[in-house]
Amino acid sequence: MSNLGYGFCPTHPGELLKEEIVYRKLSQKSLAKQMSVPHTALNDILNGRRPLTANTAMLFEAALGINADLLMRMQLKYNMQIVRQDKTFSDRLSAIRKNVAML
C-alpha cells in the first residue's frame, strides 16, 4: 500500500500486537482467556481481519501495557488509508466537491 500522504504506510495495530505477543512468548488462547475475549476475535485482530475497538484497545493495554491511545491512532490511520484507496468512495467525494463548488 502507498503512504497516501502520511510519509509512512499505516499499519494495522494487530501487527504490532502480534509481534509483542510473539516476543513475550504468549499463546493467543491464553491471552484471549485473560482478556475474556473469544480466541477467534483476538486472532482476527492480530491478523488484520477485524478492526480494533476502543474497548479491545483498553483490554490490550491492561493485558500487555501497550497504550490504548497509540493503538487507536494506529487503527484510525489504517482505516483512513483503506478508505482513501476505495475508488467508488473517491468518486463519491469528487461528486460532492463539484456540487459544493457550484453553490
Average confidence (pLDDT) per 10 residues, the chain, 103 residues: 62 97 98 98 98 98 98 97 93 93 83
Domain range summary for the chain, segments of one domain joined by +: 13-101
Q: How far apart (Å, rounded) are the C-alpha atoms in residues 23 and 38?
A: 22
Distance of alpha carbon 60 from the chain centroid: 13
Burial of 14 (0-12, 13-18, 19+ CB in 10 A): buried
- What's the confidence (pLDDT) of residue 96? 95
Q: Specify the CATH superfamily of domain 13-101.
A: lambda repressor-like DNA-binding domains (1.10.260.40)
Cα–Cα dist 16/71, whole Å: 9
Residues 6+ apart with CB under 8 A from 69: 57
pLDDT at res. 7:
62
